[in-house]
Structure 1
Amino acid sequence: MSEVLDSYPLLLRGAWTTVQITVYGAVFALVLALAFGLAGTARGRLLRAVNRIYVEFFRGVAALVLMYWFFYALPLLGLRFTPIAAAVLAIGLNYGAYGAEVVRGSVEAVPRAQWEAACALNFTAAQRMRRVLLPQATALMLPPFGNLLIELMKATAGVSLVSIADLTFRAKQIQASTGQTAATFAVILVMYFVIAQALQVLVRIAERRTARMLGRGLPPRRSPAAAPAGEAVLP
């Protein structure tokens, strides 16, 4: 175990690479999820068809297979990607498909009365989405997005197969040099857990901020003048 712990600089560099790929992949997946998820709520059949094609295809294909395709197969056709670009594309496309369904379902879960109220205020379709529907849907999206973010982070363990020196890649190097298999993978098990918990904390913070922005979870406060006679007002 001591030999494994002495190799912590390698593990920290690998962990940093894992975090970077997680962030890049999550941003790419979020952009795709919003674009195709909102397309799934559109009235036009063409946009809804585009949503279904993207979601069904990339949700049904393994991220590792996509990674191999971008890194090993497409260069044969003249398209070359760096290992990190191939990993981000594969992970983003795969998890963006799951996220698109979260976006679509969350927008459609907003009560129709909210949409009708926005129409009564003469909002355009873009204003209804930006000012009324999307802010409320965001509160519904965040919990499942948190789960997808952690799953995306764990999926980055496969990028070591395309020669990216992530946490798993570094662990394999240390295991090969020290011969301590159990100790090495026990350490990175804990490191992946710590990264996942850090991501979960960030999602929780985003949930609380979104709830405050929407005025949820905060009890209304009334002034003494507004309280009925004989009713105590809490400070």
Structure 2
Amino acid sequence: MDFLIERLPIYLDGAWVTIQLTAGGLALAFVLALFFGILGTRPEWLPRAVATTYVEVFRGVSALVLMFWMAYALPVLTGYQLDGRFAAIIAVGLNIGAYGAEVVRGAIKAVPKAQFEATVALDMTWFQRMRLVILPQAWAQMLPTFGNLSIELMKATAVSYLIGVADISAIAERMRQATGETVLAFSGALILYFLIAQVLIFGVRLLERRANHRLGRVPPGGRGILGLLRPPALTTSGGAK
């Protein structure tokens, strides 16, 4: 315990880098997932082909290899060296964004067809349909899977130390080499990754309950802190079970 307490500031520096990578990767992944997910629902073949190409390419590529490519191959091709953190953010964002795009597409497709028909009957534009009717309903269905993907993205940043980023994993390896305390060095990293994951889980569940509340779905367990510790149950009838 004394080992971890004495080196806590160093581990916290690594944790801050991991949080930055996670936040940046999530922002990029969310934008890409929303854009290509919506594109994949369009009736025209060209937008669907573009969305499918993005999903299949970046879902089928290892995040680690993509990170190496951004850090080492891209400078050879362009002559421009990306910062290690930026390269890691782009790599994990592109990779997780491809998975997220399929989540968005599936959630939009899951919205009842009657909702689409109602927006047409009300003479809404495509943008109004998506913003006011379709996406709010699809959003509640996306969030549980988005929560899982956010944790996967956070864990994927752990390999960024291989391209010189001083994240939690890099700090743990540095402590192991400096002290020879393998178990304690990596135990500190395990604890920090676990704590960051719990914050992500809590935040996503908070968003889930807010989305369900806006749709008139009242999750079991109330609105308190204890209720947020349990995943919400979606209902199809619009009321509480």
Alignment partners' CA distance in 2, 1:218 and 1:203: 14
For the Cα contact (< 8 Å) 1:33–1:96, is it kept in 2? Answer: yes
Q: Note the aligned Cα RMSD (angstroms).
A: 1.2
- CA offsets, 1:167-194, max 9 Å, x none? 0001111111111001111121111111
Q: Does 1:86 align with 2:87?
A: yes
- CA offsets, 1:42-82, max 9 Å, x none? 01100000011000000000011011001011111213211
Q: Counterparts in 2 of 1:133-148, with a 5 A limit?
A: 133-148=134-149
Q: Which has the larger radius of gyration?
A: 1
Alignment partners' CA distance in 2, 1:119 and 1:218: 31
Q: Counterparts in 2 of 1:51-66, with a 5 A limit?
A: 51-66=51-66
Q: Counterparts in 2 of 1:185-200, with a 5 A limit?
A: 185-200=186-201
AA of the residue aligned to 2:206:
I
AA of the residue aligned to 1:114:
Q
For the Cα contact (< 8 Å) 1:33–1:101, is it kept in 2? Answer: yes
Q: Counterparts in 2 of 1:20-99, with a 5 A limit?
A: 20-77=20-77, 78-99=79-100
Instruction: Give the aligned length.
Output: 219
| Secondary structure of 1:43's aligned partner | coil
Q: Does 1:12 align with 2:12?
A: yes
Following superposition, the deviation at residue 3 of structure 1 comes to 2.7
Alignment partners' CA distance in 2, 1:75 and 1:62: 19
TM-score by length of 1: 0.91
Q: Which runs of 5+ in 2 are unaligned?
A: 221-241
Tell me which residue corresponds to 1:107.
Answer: 108
- CA offsets, 1:79-114, max 9 Å, x none? 321101110110000000000000000000000011
Q: Which runs of 5+ in 1 are unaligned?
A: 220-235
For the Cα contact (< 8 Å) 2:3–2:184, is it kept in 1? Answer: no
Alignment partners' CA distance in 1, 2:180 and 2:137: 53
For the Cα contact (< 8 Å) 1:143–1:203, is it kept in 2? Answer: yes
Tell me which residue corresponds to 2:165.
Answer: 164
Tell me which residue corresponds to 1:151.
Answer: 152
Runs of 4+ aligned residues of structure 1 deviating over 4 Å after TM superposition are: none
| Secondary structure of 2:217's aligned partner | coil
Following superposition, the deviation at residue 5 of structure 1 comes to 2.9
For the Cα contact (< 8 Å) 1:59–1:94, is it kept in 2? Answer: yes
Flag the structure with more relative contact order, 1 or 2, with Cα contacts below 8 A and sequence separation at least 6: 1
Alignment partners' CA distance in 2, 1:114 and 1:149: 29
Following superposition, the deviation at residue 199 of structure 1 comes to 0.4
Q: Counterparts in 2 of 1:176-187, with a 5 A limit?
A: 176-187=177-188
Tell me which residue corresponds to 1:210.
Answer: 211
Following superposition, the deviation at residue 218 of structure 1 comes to 7.0
For the Cα contact (< 8 Å) 2:32–2:98, is it kept in 1? Answer: yes
AA of the residue aligned to 2:205:
R
Which shifted more, 170-179 or 52-61? 170-179
Alignment partners' CA distance in 2, 1:192 and 1:73: 29
